[in-house]
Structure 1
Amino acid sequence: MPFILTGPLVTHYDLAGPEGAPVLLLANSLGTSFHVWDAIVPALTTRYRVLRYDMRGHGLTDAAPLPGETQGYSISELAGDALALMDALGIAKAHVVGLSIGGMVAQHLAAYAPDRVDHVVLCDTAAVIGPASVWNDRIVGIRRDGLPAIAPGVMARWFTDGLRAARPDLIRGYVNMVARTTLEGYLGCAMAVRDADLREAGAKIAAPVLVIVGDKDPSTPPASAEALAQGISGARLEMIADASHIPCVEQPEALARLLLGFLPD
């Protein structure tokens, strides 16, 4: 298992694919590890050097202390973690694909570190994911009852009814993934999403952008994806049928086709 020191954190990552190929950075969603991308990695590594990593406090990456009871991390800090990982591995530039909070990180990178980013894919994300009251209620519940109490309910937002009925084994695995995320990592990143407004950042993005959304996503629905694409000059919007918030798990072939059709060789 590869680990590397990235500033004050030890980051867990995976780097696979042909040496010398263009690097494709995958930034995962809240409450997941980089294994959320497992099903699409084989298709992507035919053309790219694929870099996955666990966000701070997720998977096996260190959790940074929270700055306060009501203060979490920021999207800027999380984007800085991604840049620190690229620096530590000697990667100057990458295509970036971000899912949910990872898509917010990707927006920030494209806007404020344009020399480090080539093409960008924003998957099931938005410039603003709210309202803040929803996040505050969730944070109160997690502090009171713990992540295991909310993990089963998260599955209804992540996956369609059909997948949940057909793959109870998969769903139990993702319940475990959420429940075993560190409290600091989940709360810190939840507060980063709560506090983020990337609409001004979107207007600064000059890189080619593809926005993707599952047609049944209740967390960042198609209307949010449309608004995101409209706020970024030249952005293209694609919808994946029969997918909720985590299409890389639910419809990996469809997502891989869209990525390979958009990203240059």
Structure 2
Amino acid sequence: MQQFVEASSPGIRLWTEQRGSADAPPLLLVMGAQATGVGWPEPLVDALAAHHRVIRYDHRDTGRSSWPFEERPYRIADLAEDVVAVLDGLGIERAHIVGLSLGGMLAQLALADHPDRWISATLMGTSALSTTPYTRPDGTTVPVDELPGIAPEVLEMWARPVEDHGPATEVERRIAHWRVLAGDRLPFDADFFRTLEHRVIEHTGHYRVGTAHGRADHSGLLRSDALAENEVPTLVIAAPAEPVFPPPHPQHLAQSVGNARLVEIPGMGHALPPAVHAPLATAILRHTGAVPPTA
């Protein structure tokens, strides 16, 4: 079922989709920067929907949601309030939340600012919104600003200007981007990502590249104390081939968020190729299934 809900800012609409039994525990999927809700792979959504009422949505300036940034600039923190607005718009009091990349940061903000709205959280492909140092296994500590940065090949691709040479060329550019984000541990399935991007373009209605989230105000995102005091059961997914937030970022995240534990998905990078769908769904469902809906 698809419907629009009001964002946290008046006059902005967010596209949502629900899948699974209406009586099942709600699970909200939050995608990364400039990514639509249909970026969540169908097999993964279906696996989760066998046990949950799965909700996915388009951020502002993506997909079928409003594209207001040029006339009404907003903050990344506003996108986090949209996360809660989706629940409000659908009449959901509490839900499990799963966030990827920027979605993992928005999930952290939602945990810190609205802890009463969440049954559990799963965070992946993201970094801690915390200044807490990372403690290595040998007991030594590393300041947050000394943790590994984004891989050079990713930075190089992000620095390239995006030129309009038509939809076919744009799809191939996106596939090359996914190839870099996926890491080097698993075989790259170009056809899978080609199908994904065709679906995204069809869903959105155009192939223009959005840049709003990269230009939005990123200030005021740290939640060190609130995350340390978190009581919502939280799963951190460790991706050994992650090129954007490479290890030990997941380990640091699990240390920075209270009541968190870590599970590694072999071969995973900063993408969701077919090889990770089953193990990722298993990890998420084991996590959500261990938490009573009324907890």
Q: TM-score when scaled to structure 1?
A: 0.82
**CA deviation string 1:133-183 (max 9, x = no partner):** x999988754x746949635422332244432xx22223345564896655
Deviating more after overlay: 91-100 vs 146-155: 146-155
Matched, 1:16 2:41: no
Residue identity over aligned pairs, in percent, reads 28
Query: What is the CA distance between 1:198 and its match in structure 2?
Result: 3.2
Equivalent residues of 2:15, 2:57 under 8 A apart: yes
How many residue pairs get matched? 256
1:208 alignment partner in structure 2: 233
Query: What is the CA distance between 1:241 and its match in structure 2?
Result: 0.6
Matched, 1:30 2:53: no
> Which of 206, 212, 226 is 1:188 aligned to?
212
1:229 alignment partner in structure 2: 254
CA separation in 1, counterparts of 2:35 and 2:88?
23
CA separation in 1, counterparts of 2:71 and 2:230?
29
> Which of 190, 212, 216 is 1:168 aligned to?
190
Equivalent residues of 1:210, 1:262 under 8 A apart: yes
Q: Secondary structure at the match of 1:64?
A: coil
Q: Is the alpha carbon distance of 1:193 and 1:21 closer, same or farther for their aligned partners in structure 2, counting shifts above 3 Å?
A: farther
Q: Secondary structure at the match of 1:251?
A: helix
1:63 alignment partner in structure 2: 67
CA separation in 1, counterparts of 2:155 and 2:220?
14
Q: Secondary structure at the match of 1:163?
A: coil
Q: Secondary structure at the match of 2:67?
A: coil
Deviating more after overlay: 230-239 vs 247-256: 247-256
Aligned letter for 1:2?
Q
Query: What is the CA distance between 1:99 and its match in structure 2?
Result: 0.5
Deviating more after overlay: 192-201 vs 248-257: 192-201
Equivalent residues of 1:123, 1:213 under 8 A apart: yes
Q: TM-score when scaled to structure 2?
A: 0.74
Largest Rg, 1 or 2: 2
Matched, 1:102 2:103: yes
CA separation in 2, counterparts of 1:108 and 1:233?
14
Query: What is the CA distance between 1:98 and its match in structure 2?
Result: 0.3
Query: What is the CA distance between 1:127 and its match in structure 2?
Result: 2.1
Residue segments in structure 1 that go unaligned for 5+ positions in a row: none
Equivalent residues of 1:157, 1:217 under 8 A apart: no
Aligned letter for 2:213?
C
Q: Is the alpha carbon distance of 1:138 and 1:61 closer, same or farther for their aligned partners in structure 2, counting shifts above 3 Å?
A: farther
Q: Secondary structure at the match of 1:96?
A: strand
Aligned letter for 2:211?
L
Residue segments in structure 2 that go unaligned for 5+ positions in a row: 130-146
CA separation in 1, counterparts of 2:268 and 2:77?
29
CA separation in 2, counterparts of 1:193 and 1:207?
27
